A and B are shown apart, each in its own frame.
Chain A
């Protein structure tokens, strides 16, 4: 009596079975989660999505005052405001991707415990939601950028065509680290505390509030090993024309990103099977 089975549930997944086909089948669910995030965050608020703009704007103003005017850090001759805003907008996207996926398991334990769907839909929808926020913030950035271009103080160049790649890489890196952390937090809750703190520290080893041009060669190489550093650096070069394009370290950081994401998905798939017993 032979019977073909649609599905076999076994104690463990195969290590490299990433189940991406299943994820694709649930693509509608991902979009539903994005919509859910959006409306749950902004229903019954006065300003609604305007909050997306207020946050980076005020941070930029603050950076301009603190790092620009008080600390007097160089901005490579670019107007301080747009310099900080460029770094800030990009960084905010990455950090949102990271922090919003980092607590996937713990914060969704209630629903994960009741019904099965590919768990990766949750972090992926968080990343897509972050992309929407980024889109709005980026539009604001472009608005200011056009003003500064007209004034003639910044000169964007052809490398802005790399933008989709920048975005994709930041999303992949944020997602990768996020799901690794979320997998570990099912056992070690103290990691959640580390996340917000760690992201803050990470920002300071990424050239957001300072340019890399003033650094010593050794320091430069060191800081460029931070996978976010080449992305931010190149982002600034493309849009503001400051500093120079960095290809070598960018390639390294892209490889790092792919590895992190790949490892992340493997760990995530292993944890998702039994995390309900430990969370």
Chain B
């Protein structure tokens, strides 16, 4: 008797691209009739070859992994990596094209909370309905009803039709039902990305409880590395339908985040010419991130980069400027270097920049690199500019500040490290 809860063996899933069939019975019959007589299919596009009507797309190309009982496994990967497909197959929403999944235990999937909620029914009725959909019997739900209502914080509105609920209440109620199920395997896809912060924390704690105390198995998919870190010890990284990594959480997260940046640690810009106005009196050749394997730094780390550049003209004063933007384009800040003096034409230079990035909160950033001539009046004129020269991914570390979801929109991207608070009784 081994203690595996899930075993996935060489799982493949193929989707057809484009429209499937003619869409109408008549169209398909017509095509079939034409093919039978070896005539040209009247529904085929001109120039299209027979039988290549639909291109195939393999969403999963043979993934295999195992999950032990009571383990919380994180599934991470970029868009299109195959995470959601894997979960869909696990929860039997659709069937695999090839391969097998072995399950030991009942599966409760929460691919989206509140599916199966009916707007006209009251909260209480919906608890029963949702419970039944997830495989509970009526008596099981009744036994857990109080616990569910209590957890959902909706006891006041429990006999109101859910169509009058706020979206937050809706989600809370749905999560509560699923979390209290008697299933041995729970499958969740970013369900915690909703609800207020307090409730999110409550959910995470509940999930940790579920996996550690109740010994239930959790498969968790999220883009939020924070929750992954809190919940899972082991992660599987998927990439283009294959398992890229399976093992320790931190290593997996670093690999994933490194993959996520569009640029690596070394970028050559010899052939790059910005559309923005610049004099061209110097040329940036390449930019490299030092001391790292991936373009990922932790929140409490500094970023060291090396820039090689060439002067095309004698210049008396230069400086580096590096505007930093969050990935959504919102400005974060700008670094202006000390002056570099007496640059000679034709000479190659290497500049090492040690950027104090401590305090940048988790997320993706883009850094532009500008070298400016400084004229006799102290004004800056762009000599060369490389937009989006570097992409870095800042990874959070668990501490008192960043244990919460960071609202970049409202809070910006800087967390003021090294500040302190002292409180006295007065």
Contacts and interface: CB of A to CB of B under 8 A. Distances in A.
A8 B97 CA distance: 14
A30 B62 CA distance: 36
A10 B9 CA distance: 10
A181 B103 CA distance: 32
B96 interface: yes
Given A188-B25, A190-B26, A117 B103 contact: no
A117 B2 contact: no
B93 A117 contact: no
Contact of B21 (A29, A32, A187): A187
B125 A35 contact: yes
A46 interface: no
Given A5-B104, A188-B23, A190-B24, A36 B96 contact: no
Given A8-B101, A36-B129, A115 B1 contact: no
Contacts of B121: 36, 39-40
A217 interface: no
Contacts of B296: none
Contacts of A117: 132-135
Interface in B115-166: 115-116, 118, 120-121, 125, 128-129, 132-138, 161
A276 to B, nearest CB: 4
A188 B31 CA distance: 14
A277 B106 contact: no
A29 B133 contact: yes
Given A4-B104, A5-B103, A188-B24, A11 B95 contact: yes
B67 to A, nearest CB: 13
Contacts of B94: 273-274, 276-277
Nearest to B129: A32
B102 interface: yes
Contact of A6 (B88, B89, B105): B105
Interface string A23-38: 0011011001101100
B100 interface: yes
B132 A29 contact: yes
Given A7-B103, A39-B121, A277-B15, A115 B25 contact: no
Interface stretch (A65-73, A105-113, A249-257): A105-113
A199 interface: no
Contact of B95 (A12, A26, A29, A278): A12
A181 to B, nearest CB: 11
A223 interface: no
Contacts of A35: 125
Contacts of A36: 118, 120-121, 125, 129
A8 B94 CA distance: 14
A112 B111 CA distance: 11
Nearest to B14: A277
Contacts of B23: 188-189
A44 B119 CA distance: 13
A7 B106 CA distance: 9
Given A26-B135, A36-B118, A117-B134, 4 more contacts: A9-B92, A9-B101, A26-B132, A276-B88
19 contacts: A4-B104, A8-B103, A9-B92, A10-B96, A29-B129, A32-B129, A43-B120, A110-B115, A111-B115, A114-B111, A115-B115, A115-B116, A116-B91, A117-B134, A117-B135, A274-B95, A277-B16, A278-B20, A278-B21
Interface of A: 1-12, 25-26, 28-29, 32-33, 35-36, 39-40, 43-44, 110-117, 184, 187-191, 273-274, 276-278
